[in-house]
Chain A
Amino acid sequence: MTASLTDLTLKDARAKLRAREISSTELTQAYLDAVARYRDWNAFITETPEKALAMADASDRKLAVGEGGPMEGLPIGMKDLFCTAGTRTTAGSHILDGFTPPYESTVSGKLWAAGAVCLGKTNMDEFAMGSSNITSYRGPVASPWTKRAENKPLVPGGSSGGSAAAVAGRLCVAATGTDTGGSIRQPAAFAGICGVKPTYGRCSRFGIVAFASSLDQAGAMARTVEDCAIMLEAMAGFDPHDSTSADLPVPDWTAACAKPVRGLKIGIPKEYRVEGMDPEIDAVWQGGIDWLKAEGCEIKDISLPHTKYALPTYYIIAPAEASSNLARYDGMRYGLRVPGRNLVETYGKTRGEGFGVEVQRRVLIGTYVLSAGYYDAYYLKAQKVRRLISDDFLKAFEDVDLILTPTAPSAAFREGDKMDDPVAMYLNDVFTVPSSLAGLPAMSVPGGLNGDGLPLGLHLIGKPWDEATVFAGAAALERAADFDVVPYGLERAA
């Protein structure tokens, strides 16, 4: 009984809760049991079972009288980048030791207001900087997936690795993620789940620990496209506390999932067919193309000529903003303080011990590209290229409705692989970064398995504010892929 409860999709669980076939307390307890059982995956940094049960109880009372919001009683994981009032928030970093926010992020607040139940805070790369969840001060996350033939842990992707592992491993019905250069979509692909990053400005950034302000966007991770749509509807919307939040109504994305895709024009960018591309990735991509064609879509070859500059552009802009955003962690007001003999030494020790290697690397890169004499050559140039990349997309969208690409250039890899070469690690985001730079809505859905039995993702990019068409296309891919493989780690453990 317990296993089947945690296997329910968000939509089905919601229907059963509303029909009072199950209670939120029952469902929440099933997930709490699963969280405890798979604790060695390290998917959660902070578990909040008492809070979860209290919230579930409150939901049950509402559901009992036919009330409750669109997420009422549904237990979710909250990425530990969202500040949660009264619950420790670490951003996966040592430097936020002991930090419990007195305020709630807008997005998490909206989810609680919609009735969602908080199971805990999910693990993540430190300050969301990483593509494999290995930079977390709280330790790496093991994916519930392993290669079919072996039982060695794989990375869940990152930075929203804890959320991806928790959703794939049935530790929660859905989870929040944040995506700066692919941090929702890449782990979703690695974990065989769905993950959506909406248009920049759709979800408020207020209360989300900042990585790169012009790129950070919250999004939803769940086991189906429709589940993502339901959850994102509860997260999105204008927030006067975020100047970059868009004052636009939130469309009915759940309905959009059922919309036929016949007649949609799908762009296939030739620049994404990178040299030395894994043939299995290419095959999944071709599979996606064929499925959409079969659904009545028109496939068009397109060009996004500045694609090759996206990764270097991203790795100038994101660290530049991060170097400034992370300046506030100085050991003065909250979090870790490692005292030195004087102020400068205290800064040095606090930040030296408080930040991990990858974070330090990006702070240094960011400081460098913004410094006098280099600003024009790096930061300013990168901003110009960013505009060109954005223009590529807007031009392409004059002819097509969606763009289809693979989500990541490889399947999940082993912990330890790609670790000593940061550039190899950065290449994980090669397909997701361009749409991040352009602020476009994009989603990863499972496209199938590779030869090792590991999931691979398909990536749909939409026009600005047109998440609806992304959901429609993603739902079509989901129907065609009919992906229902349960992670082997889960099966083995069971």
Chain B
Amino acid sequence: MTYTIKGATGEWEVVCGLEVHAQVTSEAKLFSGAATVYGGAPNSQVSPIDAGMPGMLPVVNRECVAQAVRTGLGLEAEINKVSVFERKNYFYPDLPQGYQISQYQHPIVGKGEIHLDLEGGDTKTVGITRLHLEQDAGKSMHDAQDGASLIDLNRSGVALMEIVSEPDIRSPDEAVLYMRKLRTILRYLGTCDGNMEEGSLRCDANVSVRQVGEDGFRTRCEIKNVNSMRFVARAIEYEAKRQIELYEQGGDVEQETRLFDSNKGETRSMRSKEEAHDYRYFPDPDLLPVELTDDEIEGWRAGLPELPDAKKQRFIDDFGLGAYDAGVLVAERATADYFEAVAAKAEPKAAANWCINELGGLLNKAGKGIEQSPIAPDQLAALLALLKDGTLSGKLAKDVFALMFETGDDPQKIVKDRALEQVTDMSSIEPIIDQLIKDNPGQVETYKKNPKVIGWFTGQVMKATGGKANPQAVQQVLKPKLDAA
């Protein structure tokens, strides 16, 4: 289904490409040995190199290079065996060197692609233009102190991957799917933690519009500061509508950089094309070109984990899961790992169902990730075994599951402590059934006309046994007795 925006003059299509800055997971910064832990005291993780002190020189952290290549491989991209760090020159107090070391003409990773899972099981491929490495700037705090701005250089020099997509995205939802999928891949690879709140994943959107059926692209605007999944969709939608309105009022969209204001939900002009910086890029003479050997690249490739697309296909093929369930399970590697651990000891479809619905629901409610699940995969598998052998009814199993979530105890212990075993011995249930038939002649009459009313009787028995009776077994005893009554 194509997304279009209806304007006064007709249907409009959104054309969008995303530039994502992903902080490289690494112990040390891109060009210095300083640490990269989030939330350190201001200016506590700064080497003289990151502070732009005189005479200091950058030296490439090879681990950051490896992470960029791994990411490139995960995006099915070309890896450039020679790439060049250049200086992007501009003045700002949180940019201590007066230039950002980035890659410009020769990025480390070239063209690749990302596959989006659309609703209804379709997939869409979004092209990756390039991925390059660059250093982050520090952080300015403008209102922290009267009459002065404060600078925290902890982030200065931290390695970022800038991942640029082709203008293949056609709706706000696709943009969100792209971001989600990219984050999933990065997290699988362990090359970026994908945490948008902490700023490890930041997004700028290039947005233009065109009338449905129109060829070529119109002028685009770059929207900065789109830093949550929710904002990605809102910013693109707002910007597209703004541009359509402009065109329809006979105006023109000017190429400019705009800022997304998440409070007002709108974009506003930051700087026009005329005000655009002249960054005076040139190869950084302090650094040699980054050269990669085939052996290095193949070594990194061999060390890659199974990626979400492959995993999803395997879950479908090997476990017989539906595409939707498989997609949900692989969205987080930890969830997929959890599921696989359960599925190794239980029926895979039931395992998937419990992982997604029961466990997913409780975790969601508790605001916890799967890593913090109080229930271990083995415990869930044990619960599923109790369900399968009839020790627990479906209802009881859910109750036990909730208790497991609360206490972290094994299901066997909970069942034993609370005497929750399903009652399979019918001798204790028969008197209850007999009494029930005796006490409710009216309902018995109704049953004669409508056999579905057996459900009412079953429910009463379940209630009387505290849910411990096996409903199938109850019905087997109940039906002949009702028929005979």
Contact = CB atoms under 8 A, between A and B. Distances in A.
Interface of A: 82-83, 89, 91, 96, 99, 101-103, 105, 205-210, 212-214, 240-244, 320-321, 323-324, 326-328, 330, 332-334, 343, 347, 367, 370-372, 375, 379
Contact of B91 (A205, A330, A370): A330
B10 to A, nearest CB: 38
Q: Which of B57, B96, B99 has the most CB of A within 10 A?
A: B57
Nearest to A212: B285
Contacts of B278: 371-372
Interface string B41-56: 0000000100111111
Contact of A209 (B55, B60, B285): B55
Given A207-B55, A332-B93, A370-B280, 17 more contacts: A83-B54, A96-B54, A101-B53, A101-B54, A105-B55, A205-B57, A206-B55, A208-B55, A213-B285, A323-B280, A324-B280, A327-B89, A330-B91, A330-B93, A330-B98, A332-B151, A371-B280
B54 A209 contact: yes
A99 B55 CA distance: 12
B48 A102 contact: yes
Interface of B: 48, 51-60, 87, 89, 91, 93, 96-99, 151, 278, 280-282, 285-288
B98 A324 contact: yes
Contact of A327 (B93, B97, B151): B97
Nearest to B92: A343
A216 to B, nearest CB: 9
Contacts of A334: 53
B58 A243 contact: yes
Contacts of A240: 59
Interface of A is mostly: loop
Nearest to A328: B52
B55 A210 contact: yes
28 contacts: A83-B55, A91-B54, A99-B54, A101-B53, A103-B48, A103-B53, A205-B57, A206-B55, A206-B57, A207-B56, A210-B55, A210-B286, A212-B285, A213-B286, A214-B285, A243-B60, A244-B285, A323-B89, A324-B89, A324-B280, A326-B98, A327-B97, A328-B53, A328-B54, A328-B96, A330-B98, A347-B91, A370-B89
A209 B52 CA distance: 11
Contacts of B287: 243-244
Nearest to A327: B98
Contacts, number: 95
Nearest to B279: A372
Nearest to B52: A328
Nearest to B97: A328
Contacts of B281: 370
Nearest to B276: A372
Contacts of B57: 205-206, 241-243
B264 to A, nearest CB: 26
Given A83-B55, A343-B93, A370-B89, A243 B286 contact: yes
Given A102-B48, A332-B96, A244 B288 contact: yes
A213 B282 CA distance: 13
Contacts of B93: 330, 332, 343
Contacts of A343: 93
A102 B89 CA distance: 26
Contacts of B89: 323-324, 327, 370
Contact of B51 (A83, A209, A333): A333
Please name the 8 residue pairs, one residue from A and one from B, whose CB atoms are nearest each other, closest first. Answer: A327-B98, A213-B285, A214-B285, A370-B280, A328-B52, A207-B55, A209-B54, A83-B55
A101 B48 CA distance: 10
Contacts of A324: 87, 89, 98-99, 280, 282
Contacts of A210: 54-55, 286
A185 B59 CA distance: 30
Contacts of A214: 285
Contacts of A370: 89, 280-282
A372 B282 CA distance: 11
Given A343-B93, A347-B91, A327 B99 contact: yes
A101 B58 CA distance: 17
A214 B317 CA distance: 57
Contacts of B58: 243
A244 B57 CA distance: 10
Given A91-B54, A334-B53, A371-B278, A244 B99 contact: no
B164 to A, nearest CB: 20
B80 to A, nearest CB: 19
Contacts of B56: 103, 206-207
- Name the residue in A320, A328, A333 with the highest tally of chain B Cβ atoms < 10 Å from its Cβ: A328
Contacts of A321: 285
B133 to A, nearest CB: 15
Kindly name the residue among A213, A332, A372 whose own CB sees the greatest number of chain B CB atoms within 10 A: A332
A83 B286 CA distance: 17
A256 B55 CA distance: 32
A154 to B, nearest CB: 31
A29 to B, nearest CB: 31
Given A327-B91, A370-B282, A371-B280, A241 B97 contact: no
Contacts of A375: 280, 282
A316 B87 CA distance: 17
Given A332-B96, A379-B282, A243 B59 contact: yes
A334 B46 CA distance: 15
A333 B48 contact: no
B252 to A, nearest CB: 24
Contacts of B288: 243-244
A321 B278 CA distance: 16
Given A103-B53, A214-B285, A241 B99 contact: no
Nearest to B90: A327
A219 to B, nearest CB: 16
B102 to A, nearest CB: 13
B74 to A, nearest CB: 28
A210 B284 CA distance: 13
Contacts of B55: 82-83, 101, 105, 205-210
Contacts of B96: 328, 332-333
B297 to A, nearest CB: 21
Nearest to B31: A243
A324 B286 CA distance: 12
A255 B205 CA distance: 64
A40 B335 CA distance: 77
B480 to A, nearest CB: 87
Contacts of A91: 54
Given A102-B48, A327-B89, A333-B96, A241 B54 contact: no
A205 B319 CA distance: 60
A333 B282 contact: no
A162 B60 CA distance: 35
Contacts of A332: 93, 96, 151
B282 to A, nearest CB: 6
